[in-house]
């Protein structure tokens, strides 16, 4: 049952992912969460984020930001990184992920998702069989509802790590 929340891969940071290798494997679309995945919660796009998206677009990736946040927050991040975006996405609902793939012209076979939360980001993508990469949160400061979810995530990740150790 907990497998519903298991990511396909786990990385320390979205900035450490070998995107060239993923592109070579046939992935051409990336859906991203913003807060605590690419920048600290509420922070604007920084030089590192802008450089990452330039690199991704040069490789050939299409990108879409998928956030449960309001448009002002999402657009203000997406514009400097030159990415498509969806705000008030309703993650983990499938609808936002489907809309993101439609905007990019991709499908579940050639799209991957990168985010820092199991119960919204990863679970939503897994419900559509999108390849998922879970990153560690960039910054420890989080809203109270996320802090509570993190405690539950620790339980799921304990079993995920135990399973992967055996494999």
Q: What is the mean pLDDT of the chain?
A: 92
Predicted local distance difference test score (pLDDT) of residue 159: 81
Q: What residues are paired with 11 via a beta bridge? A: 135
Mean pLDDT, residues 82-109: 97
Mean pLDDT, residues 114-128: 93
2-166 CATH: 3.40.50.1000
pLDDT higher than threshold 80 for residue 150: no
Give the strand pairing for 111-115 and 29-32: parallel
- If pLDDT is split at 50, 70 and 90, which confidence band does 152 have? confident
- If pLDDT is split at 50, 70 and 90, which confidence band does 145 have? low
Predicted local distance difference test score (pLDDT) of residue 143: 66
Higher pLDDT, 159 or 73: 73
pLDDT higher than threshold 90 for residue 157: no
- If pLDDT is split at 50, 70 and 90, which confidence band does 142 have? low
- If pLDDT is split at 50, 70 and 90, which confidence band does 165 have? confident
pLDDT tens string 37-56: 999 988 999 999 999 999 99
Mean pLDDT, residues 105-125: 95
DSSP output for 31-96: EE--BTTTBSTTPPP-HHHHHHHHHHHHHT-EEEEE-SS-HHHHHHHHHHHT-EEESS--TTSHHH
Among 164, 93, 166, CA closest to 128: 93
Predicted local distance difference test score (pLDDT) of residue 155: 75
């Amino acid at each position: 049952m907990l497998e519903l929340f298991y990511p396909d891969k786990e990385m320390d940071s979205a900035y450490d992912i070998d995107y060239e290798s993923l592109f070579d494997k046939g992935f051409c679309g990336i859906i991203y969460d913003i807060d605590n995945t690419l920048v600290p919660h509420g922070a604007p796009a920084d030089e590192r984020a802008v450089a990452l998206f330039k690199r991704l677009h040069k490789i050939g990736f299409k990108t879409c930001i998928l956030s449960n946040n309001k448009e002002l927050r999402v657009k203000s991040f997406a514009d400097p990184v030159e990415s498509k975006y969806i705000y008030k996405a309703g993650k983990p609902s499938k609808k936002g992920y489907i809309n993101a793939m439609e905007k990019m012209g991709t499908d579940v076979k050639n799209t991957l998702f990168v985010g820092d939360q199991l119960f919204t980001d990863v679970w939503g993508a897994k419900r559509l069989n999108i390849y998922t990469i879970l990153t560690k949160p960039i910054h420890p400061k989080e809203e109270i509802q996320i802090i509570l979810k993190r405690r539950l995530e620790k339980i799921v990740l304990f079993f995920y790590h135990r399973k992967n150790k055996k494999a």
